[in-house]
Structure 1
Amino acid sequence: MPLLDPVPSLPTFLRALRRDLTAGERAGYRHGPEAARALDVFAKRPRTRRNHVWEADHVQAPLRVDADGDLVAPYVTWFIDCATKAITGLAVTPATPTRASILAALRSAVLRTDPYGPVGGLPEHVRFDRGRDVLSRTVTTALTALDADITVLPPYSPHLKGSIENLNHCVTRMLFAALPGYTPKKPRRRPDRRPQTAPPLSFTAFTEELLAWAQWWNTEHRPAELHGATPLEAWQADPTPLNDVPAHDVWTFTLEDDSRTRTITSHGVRFKNRDYIAGWMTGQAGLKVTVRFMPHHTHEIELCTPHGRHLGTAYLVDQATEEQLHALRRTRARRARRLRADAKAAEQLRHTRFAPATEPGLPRRLDAMTTTEASQELAQHRESDLTTLALPDLIPPAVPPADWATPEALKARTHPAEGGADTQSCL
């Protein structure tokens, strides 16, 4: 037997770890890659000029707000100018953000008129992460139309868009933590046992608080990188020329186009199996139009000529009332709960248990039940089985021609066709 070296003591092993591993490696082994990244050293990009580079991102507020009777965690989609640290535009979404959220935030960022200005204009470069909504054709087409270069960052690299990540961190510490219902992502070691007495904010109140904080950030906050100036003062002191776009053109660029030409009929315009009409369509039947729309905003669409001239807004015909929509949402919620309960019950029924064995032998299932219980469950399954309800053998097929090689088992399941045995049935 070979002689092994003696096992070192635990203090010796720990001293070796502290000697041979860096602080980042130890933090990564203990808490994961995010803790290791916090101890890394990153180079700092040189400060350029206003509107040279923008960064965009979504951030979820760690609190619940009242949105039409439902408690939801809102998302904020915003753009920041990397040179001046100014928030150029934002949009708030009660639920998960989509490409419509990015287009709305982009529109508010580009326009410099009230209530968005004076910060804004056309950016030269925009940095995004690899979100599906960001990589959608609608967003890339809008930014390309605005003559902006898109930089898609590699995954798991928040340090490559440090300006927007710092903004997300600041709004959480400065604003969200002071609002009712705030719930930190990392719970405290000693959780607060006091009950929440303040009611949740409404979505309107939350949006007002966020817009006021963004105004404070641009006009009163003084980041250390700006050497005592506010983002608005740094923006106004920058002599770089601005490229403005008329509001009508920005509105056109930030809508999705389905690339089809339609005709106005006596029933309006047919779009996604729905009819849309408007008062200005009177006398316009037969006119060729194209449809532009905001994603997921199906209550209205915008109609333009094939050459791009805006004609007007069309609205959904026979739109459901609020009472009908509330009843539909309640029905869908009940159906979703019932399906989840059925799936959970089916999974429990599917689970098979076996008896433990102490001697060699065949496995023995523990699924004993009475004959009545088995018959009832089989009958219930047959009532919900669509293949059984389809009755495929209700009308048996006709007798095949005599020259066909038909098995005897299939000949017994046929019936003579009307008008002779050689007449083939369409079945």
Structure 2
Amino acid sequence: MPNKPKYMRSALQRAVDELLELEQTRPLTPADLRAQAKISGYSSKHIRRTLQKVKAAPAEDGGGQFTVTEAVITAVFLCCGVLAQAYQLLAKTMPLPSQRTFRRRVREVMGNQIEYARGGSAGYREHQLYLRNDYPHRMHSLLLDHTELPIFVVPRGFKHAVKPWITAVMDGSTRYVLSWVVTFGRPTAEEVRAALVQAMTLRLAPDGDTVVGGRPLKAVWDRGLEFLATLITESCLRLNVMPIALPAYSPHLKGRLERFWRTLKTSLLPPLPGYSEGPQDLRGNSAISDAALGEDEFLVLLADWMDDYAVNHVIRTTGMTPLQAWRADGTPLDEIAPEQLWNDFLVSRDRCKVNRTGIRWDTIDWFAPELVDKIGRHVEIRHLPHDRSFIEVFLDGVHLCTAVPVQAATDETKQETIERRQAARAKAQQRFTAVNRIRRKGHDTVHKLAKDKDGKRVVVTPEDDLLSGGVQALEELFAKPAAEGGEQGRLF
């Protein structure tokens, strides 16, 4: 009979153990062997030979009572989990069975503790049983984390290439990536806050029809200082979002986001210039990172990949894309008032001055009708990262308006600006005229001034005024004959 595969040996061992237990009560019969052969898949002859070997083992293994004691386990840990070396070490001081039996019994008793002896806590973590994290519905828990991308990118305005960091916010239930922020340098609490507000803002998905975002119940992150900052904690509590810091060294508690990092790094980055985890030269340096993308081009490629991941990437465990899973969940979305997001989460920048073309920031002229009468004033702007469609403008800590790029302004916005400008000018002119009239009437001796040909100011008398002189001459011409009692004057 051909050899059986290894996975059937446990059935053989089970058959032999049952026969040994049965033999303690009565003698074995050929029917007992045939019954165990039918169950285990081995022949009766094979089972009989194995049973005889087990009975003959006592003289071979020191009385047949070999058990895995603390001394044996200590020897396994001393040898860093190498069972052959532990066998040689123990053979000097105690009788042992065959090395094959020794290995089998040590594995039965120690289990995955052998992996701890081999690789420590990191190795044990790879052979540990984990519970599945289930989230009841969408927007129940937001998973936040950031990682350094293995690619060199040249930031805008700089000439040295560095590795960017990305902060992502993922819905735990549907695996939909609600927002992401790229920074050149380790992210701070400001970037975390900006990623959160972008995830909570209601907007359309890449398909142009599905609404994503809203208020979550929980925000889950690790114990990075940027996540534990008071700024983040207080902002979440003001929005009735529960911040949860996971235990240290527990990446499996947000394993879905960790799996997303692996997909991102292996799918998008290898074909791009500047990828740093590819082939290496003899000195250990990257052999393909001698070129690098600019920041703007890299952000465009990353945004396209994120949209494609949400729409086309099928999750193996669910059989759906993140967008399909989001649409399949009918849990209502809780909208947050924009005022709360403006005050709590938008990234603040330095003050900007309002000029005649609007607000100049990030090489873009930002425009809003409310800025018409704020020329020369310094305002504070807040915005979403990587989103240049709008900025929020604050004056003295109070929200003033939402500004958009000049090129994106609609005809209604332009018409409103013209009307506001004309109304402001008419109001200023009216006030100027009224105040100037008050200025003249407040004094007894007021003379009208004019400039002569040399530019000097001179007093204008009624005789110098041609219009008033002509009217006076006409009045004298028509009034003179009537005063003399003759015929009325004639003009011919």
Q: Does 1:212 align with 2:304?
A: yes
- Residue type of the partner of 1:212? D
Q: CA deviation at 1:210?
A: 1.8
Q: CA deviation at 1:30?
A: 4.0
Counterparts of 2:325 and 2:228 in 1: how far apart (Å)?
Answer: 31
Q: CA deviation at 1:74?
A: 0.5
Q: CA deviation at 1:50?
A: 0.6
Per the alignment, residue 199 of structure 1 pairs with 291
After superposition, the Cα gap between the structure-2 partners of 1:23 and 1:199, relative to the gap in structure 1 and judged at 3 Å, is farther
Equivalence map 1:273-312=2 (5 Å): 278=354, 303=394, 309-311=398-400
Q: Does 1:56 align with 2:56?
A: no
SS in 1 for 2:296: helix
SS in 2 for 1:225: coil
After superposition, the Cα gap between the structure-2 partners of 1:215 and 1:10, relative to the gap in structure 1 and judged at 3 Å, is same
| Residues 62 and 184, structure 1, Cα contact 8 Å, conserved in 2 | yes
Per the alignment, residue 87 of structure 2 pairs with 12
Per the alignment, residue 328 of structure 1 pairs with none
Counterparts of 1:193 and 1:56 in 2: how far apart (Å)?
Answer: 32
Q: String of CA shifts for 1:94-150, please: whole Å, max 9, x gaps.
A: 211111211221122111225887321111111111111111121112212221111
Q: String of CA shifts for 1:61-102, please: whole Å, max 9, x gaps.
A: 012111121211101101111111110111111211111211
After superposition, the Cα gap between the structure-2 partners of 1:212 and 1:29, relative to the gap in structure 1 and judged at 3 Å, is farther
SS in 2 for 1:76: strand
Per the alignment, residue 233 of structure 1 pairs with 324
SS in 1 for 2:133: coil
Counterparts of 2:280 and 2:120 in 1: how far apart (Å)?
Answer: 19
Counterparts of 2:329 and 2:311 in 1: how far apart (Å)?
Answer: 15
Select the structure with the greater relative contact order (CA < 8 A; seq sep ≥ 6): 1
Counterparts of 1:193 and 1:72 in 2: how far apart (Å)?
Answer: 15
Counterparts of 2:148 and 2:130 in 1: how far apart (Å)?
Answer: 26
After superposition, the Cα gap between the structure-2 partners of 1:240 and 1:301, relative to the gap in structure 1 and judged at 3 Å, is closer
Equivalence map 1:130-169=2 (5 Å): 130-169=223-262
After superposition, the Cα gap between the structure-2 partners of 1:205 and 1:34, relative to the gap in structure 1 and judged at 3 Å, is farther
Equivalence map 1:13-52=2 (5 Å): 13=88, 19=106, 24-52=112-140
TM-score by length of 2: 0.49
Q: CA deviation at 1:281?
A: 11
- Residue type of the partner of 1:311? L
Counterparts of 1:122 and 1:160 in 2: how far apart (Å)?
Answer: 21
After superposition, the Cα gap between the structure-2 partners of 1:189 and 1:42, relative to the gap in structure 1 and judged at 3 Å, is farther
Counterparts of 2:124 and 2:294 in 1: how far apart (Å)?
Answer: 38
Q: CA deviation at 1:278?
A: 4.6
Aligned length: 285
- Residue type of the partner of 1:221? H
Which deviates further from its counterpart, 169-178 or 215-224? 169-178
Q: String of CA shifts for 1:34-72, please: whole Å, max 9, x gaps.
A: 232111110112341010111100111012111121211
Counterparts of 2:240 and 2:286 in 1: how far apart (Å)?
Answer: 53
List gaps (5 residues or longer) in structure 1. Answer: 258-270, 314-427
Counterparts of 1:151 and 1:197 in 2: how far apart (Å)?
Answer: 38
Q: CA deviation at 1:312?
A: 6.4
Q: CA deviation at 1:152?
A: 0.8
Q: Does 1:107 align with 2:205?
A: no
Counterparts of 1:47 and 1:147 in 2: how far apart (Å)?
Answer: 19
Per the alignment, residue 348 of structure 1 pairs with none
| Residues 154 and 161, structure 2, Cα contact 8 Å, conserved in 1 | yes
Counterparts of 1:113 and 1:159 in 2: how far apart (Å)?
Answer: 30
- Residue type of the partner of 1:76? I
Q: Pick one of 151, 173, 178 that aligns with 2:266.
A: 173
| Residues 202 and 212, structure 2, Cα contact 8 Å, conserved in 1 | yes
| Residues 80 and 88, structure 1, Cα contact 8 Å, conserved in 2 | yes
Q: String of CA shifts for 1:275-312, please: whole Å, max 9, x gaps.
A: 87556697999xxx9989789xxxx9964667xx4136
| Aligned alpha-carbon RMSD (Å) | 4.3
SS in 1 for 2:236: helix
| Residues 133 and 253, structure 2, Cα contact 8 Å, conserved in 1 | no
| Residues 144 and 220, structure 2, Cα contact 8 Å, conserved in 1 | yes
Q: CA deviation at 1:163?
A: 1.6
After superposition, the Cα gap between the structure-2 partners of 1:176 and 1:158, relative to the gap in structure 1 and judged at 3 Å, is same
Counterparts of 2:351 and 2:282 in 1: how far apart (Å)?
Answer: 58
After superposition, the Cα gap between the structure-2 partners of 1:275 and 1:122, relative to the gap in structure 1 and judged at 3 Å, is closer
Q: String of CA shifts for 1:234-271, please: whole Å, max 9, x gaps.
A: 111211110122445322220489xxxxxxxxxxxxx9
| Residues 142 and 218, structure 2, Cα contact 8 Å, conserved in 1 | yes
- Residue type of the partner of 2:223? R
SS in 1 for 2:170: strand
| Residues 23 and 39, structure 1, Cα contact 8 Å, conserved in 2 | no
Per the alignment, residue 244 of structure 1 pairs with 335
Computing the radius of gyration over CA atoms, which structure comes out larger, 1 or 2?
A: 2
After superposition, the Cα gap between the structure-2 partners of 1:22 and 1:192, relative to the gap in structure 1 and judged at 3 Å, is farther
Of Structure 1 and Structure 2, the greater helix share is in 2
SS in 2 for 1:105: helix
After superposition, the Cα gap between the structure-2 partners of 1:118 and 1:32, relative to the gap in structure 1 and judged at 3 Å, is farther
Which deviates further from its counterpart, 114-123 or 242-251? 114-123
Counterparts of 1:95 and 1:12 in 2: how far apart (Å)?
Answer: 51
Q: Does 1:79 align with 2:178?
A: no
Counterparts of 2:304 and 2:267 in 1: how far apart (Å)?
Answer: 12
Q: Does 1:93 align with 2:147?
A: no
Counterparts of 2:223 and 2:234 in 1: how far apart (Å)?
Answer: 16
